[in-house]
């Protein structure tokens, strides 16, 4: 048997080579198309996951923002309430000082001796005729009997009058 010449072998293998090349191209194109489909699917999945993560982050951010706003509103309301109460207390204290000042001015009026007599009489009614009655430095009287004491000073009377007014005084600060 004789060995064929190289060009004859090459010519004989050409159809096989061409077939293999066609098959390789077909396989490569199929692999590329599959890789592209897989890449598109992965990108779609990644976009979907990113949207889900962003939506969740947005919801969480809104919830955190709502919580922060609620906390801020609570603090603002507390601060407003504190300032309101402080202003009311200061106003009430000013009213009490003004009332104390006005009742002390009664000592300089012509009617004060009569008022003092009525207060002394009231003290003796409350504690008995033997009660020791003295004049208070701010006007009015203090009375003592064994185990008991009555303060009918002008400032104490003004304070009690304001205390009895209670709700009427509070209405000064309400709209």
d(CA 97, CA 138): 13
Q: Check residue 152 and give its pLDDT.
A: 95
Q: Check residue 170 and give its pLDDT.
A: 65
Q: Check residue 44 and give its pLDDT.
A: 85
Is this model's pTM higher than 0.85 or not? no
Axis crossing angle, helix 154-165 with helix 6-105, rounded to the nearest 10: 130
d(CA 97, CA 91): 10
Rounded average pLDDT per 10-residue block, the chain, 175 residues: 63 78 82 84 86 89 88 90 86 86 90 94 94 94 95 92 77 62
Q: What are phi and psi of 132, to 5 degrees?
A: -90, 120
Q: Can you read off the two tokens belonging to residue 10?
A: 């090459």
Q: Check residue 24 and give its pLDDT.
A: 77
Q: Can you read off the two tokens belonging to residue 66?
A: 């709502």
Q: Which residues of 115-154 are buried (b: 16+ CB within 10 A; e: fewer)?
A: bbeebbeebbeebeeebebeebebbbbbbebeeeebebbb
d(CA 71, CA 83): 18
Cα-based torsion angle of the residue sequence 153, 154, 157, 162 in order, rounded to the nearest 10 degrees: -140
d(CA 156, CA 78): 34
Q: What are phi and psi of 77, to 5 degrees?
A: -65, -40
d(CA 159, CA 93): 11
Per DSSP, 139 falls in state S
**115: Cβ contacts below 8 Å, ≥ 6 apart:** 106
Owner of token pair 């000013």: 94
């Amino acid at each position: 048997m004789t060995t064929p010449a190289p060009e004859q072998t090459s010519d004989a293998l050409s159809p096989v080579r061409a077939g293999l090349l066609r098959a390789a191209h077909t396989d490569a194109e199929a692999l590329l198309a599959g890789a592209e489909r897989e890449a598109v699917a992965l990108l779609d999945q990644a976009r979907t996951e990113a949207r889900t993560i962003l939506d969740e982050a947005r919801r969480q951010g809104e919830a955190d923002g709502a919580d922060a706003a609620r906390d801020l509103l609570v603090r603002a309301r507390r601060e407003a309430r504190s300032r309101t109460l402080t202003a009311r207390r200061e106003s009430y204290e000013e009213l009490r000082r003004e009332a104390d000042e006005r009742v002390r001015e009664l000592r300089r009026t012509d009617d004060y001796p009569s008022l003092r007599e009525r207060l002394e009489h009231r003290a003796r009614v409350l504690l008995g005729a033997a009660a020791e009655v003295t004049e208070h430095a701010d006007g009015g009287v203090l009375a003592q009997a064994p185990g008991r004491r009555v303060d009918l000073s002008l400032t104490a009377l003004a304070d009690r009058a304001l205390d009895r007014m209670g709700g009427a005084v509070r209405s000064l600060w309400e709209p």
